[in-house]
Structure 1
Amino acid sequence: MTERIVIVGGGQAAVSAALRLRAGGFGGSLDILSEEPVLPYQRPPLSKAYLKGEFTENRMYLRPDALYREQGISMRLNTQALMIDQINSRVDTDKNTKIPYDKLILATGARPRGLPDEIGGGLENVHTFRTLADANLLRDKVRPGQRLLVVGGGYIGLEMAAVAAGLGLEVTLVEVQERILNRVAAPETADWFRALHLKRGVDLREGVGLRQLVSDGHRAVLAALSDDSAVGVDLVVVGIGVSANDGLARAAGLAAQNGILTDEHCRTFDPDIYAVGDCAVFPYRGEPTRLESVQNACDAGEYVADHILGNTIGPYVPDPWFWSDQYDVSLKIAGLNRGYDRVLTRIGEREGGLSVWYFGQNRLLAVDALNDPKSYMMGKRWLGQGLTPDTAALSDPNTPLKAVPTLITPDLQPSFNPRGTRP
């Protein structure tokens, strides 16, 4: 009998799992342990609407406190899980409490990578960006005329640059790789965003890294770069990726490799312990995969809840999608472009829109839709149904998307549908 479920982590995955458990009829004790002092909140708006002052903190919360009380979900905020005692099936916390469980869900998320202290990472005006507390610190410092250095040309760095430029800051962005979005997007998508940021006045430097931050007291005032140039700075934001929070699992002897390793049902080798969201590594298309996305956090949380309740049959197979808002541009991504060997671009039906389509071994893998919602929706539909479009027709802007012929791609697994059916 499963009568006690504990969830470690206070993000989207934790809330999705808890609410799904209650909706599915679980009536036992249900605890969420979160290290943060506030209720679970949305992360994507932190670097956009919240930083710009368009959202209040209350609007960021995923659910109001009253709902957790109504659902009988014990929210243990400002609480750190120190140890998993597998022998006695309990979690020990920093509040000197020992919380028993029958099933344990690890939704511990990830943390941003910072700069080494020896090059200035510990200076008081150098920031990483992940939490509401991070955003609150920056909100008070992001002011017109300030000189901002963004380290890292991934989506977080570019979003930060876009918000700051829009607020009137002087923005320099450095990316040590040969181009922005080097790990996550094709050159065609990177070219589009490079032109966008340059047009908005961002000093964008590719193939250039940060060598040293020069300080005056405890503040960085100058950034020495790898091309022997230097820029004055009032503020530095570091966006160079994240590391999975897998320390608790490692200490318990669970397998981890920049993420907690799970099987196709999101279970660790201990069948009573699951891992979901940004902290989890699961098999996807034959490879260990860690997906950093709201979609994966929500769907995996709901999948695990269903699995605990005995309502799932097949493995967890995500339907990946992502998004990024920069200036007045909306990028929506369907699929995962890992392993692509061909890229095709298509002019969008909306003026200024563009879609970048990724193929691997003659099958559709993903699409980047830049101000092109129709391409996103059609690409998402094709991917969900295991279809690959005819590339000649797709590349012809005179052929409507609905008229593009498709072929079934039989080796693609159907994705998990949290509503309980398969596409």
Structure 2
Amino acid sequence: MTTTLAIPANPAAETAPETATELVHRLARDARAAQAVLARMSAADKQHALILAATALRGAGPTVLAANAVDIAAGQAAGLSPAMLDRLRLDPARIAGIAAAVADVAALPDPTGLVIDRSVRPNGMVLERVRIAIGVIGIIYESRPNVTADAAALCVRAGNAVLLRGGSEAVHSNRAIHAALVAGLVAGGVPAAAVQLLPTQDRDAVGAMLGAAGLIDMIVPRGGKNLVARVQADARVPVLAHLDGNNHTYVDRSARPDMARAIVHNAKMRRTGICGAMETLLIDACYPDPHGLVEGLLDDGCEVRGDPRAQAIDPRIRPATDADWDTEYLDAIVSVRVVDGIDAALAHIAAHGSAHTDAIVADDAAVAERFLHEVDSAIVMHNASSQFADGGEFGLGAEIGIATGRLHARGPVAVEGLTTYKWLVRGTGQTRP
């Protein structure tokens, strides 16, 4: 009788944990399959699914608030700055706003299938450029849990699948928002894998996303300068990003003082921790009421740092260092420089700006037009607060971020910025001689 010995399986091989790279690749492959389903869905079906997602998010308000309270407590214990805590904090009004943004995205026209242009060649071939989804998009972000909803809604509306990797400081909030959104989307026929939140905070997962060329089609980082710099340096996938929002407001000599005071105060103090906040105030040396511009900021607790001419405006202004002109404070701090007119203002912005958002307050139309055309930023404003640098305020429903580069998309990136295009060529038997 022959005895066959059973060879035991290798327990270590059976239970070996999935590496970060294996995890990301698996999720990306699932996302690719889900995106193929999205590509076949009608505009009306995607819209309906997003409306259900917005409704689910509203219904999950208490759960989301409870999760956010855990993150806030952890953030306070970890010593997060007031600005970071403000970005992280949710309340019923903010949750309602997040859900409303998802519903607003649902109401936007579907960009996919849009014919950008059409031409007929002399040989009779008909050429069309048609918008299509990019494919699988990876979003790497910090602190703001609303990005979970904004990114999911925008990507789905544009026919993309998305892999979300939120920051550890918002992990509980992100999971609660994601769960509600996916429940609504699935009820509307969208595959769950179309919107995936990475189940780990392992930093290696970020590296795996950055190296997933061929599996992830575009990376969008949203967060601090260190995060974005790392993504741009290490990515093997195309990146859509901005490093910081070192935004300027220039008050020209022709500005109306009441308007200038209101705009300057709002641009800095409405919310100091957002990327559209003013960080440097430039005042024309011939402007008649410079003290009125800084008085309200100082009285409301804003620290003002200035050059020698700015310090002469108010004794509470501290001296600015060279580094201040290049700093995105994201806090109640502002740098002030007195400049000799539009030429000096333009030179300062060119030297220190981050190509995000810059504004002029002026009644002189010629000066304003010159500023609008010569400042090389993604968003340039006249007689308006830089705090309007936001996709929702631009009528885009929401935004995936503000792009400051020159390729593909610039400024608030919404559904159209999450598409590319392909050529459709229709012939009648033409052959090339």
Q: Scaled by the length of structure 1, what TM-score is found?
A: 0.27
1 or 2, which has the higher strand percentage? 1
Larger RCO of the pair (alpha carbons < 8 Å, separation 6+) = 2
1 or 2, which has the higher helix percentage? 2
Q: Scaled by the length of structure 2, what TM-score is found?
A: 0.27
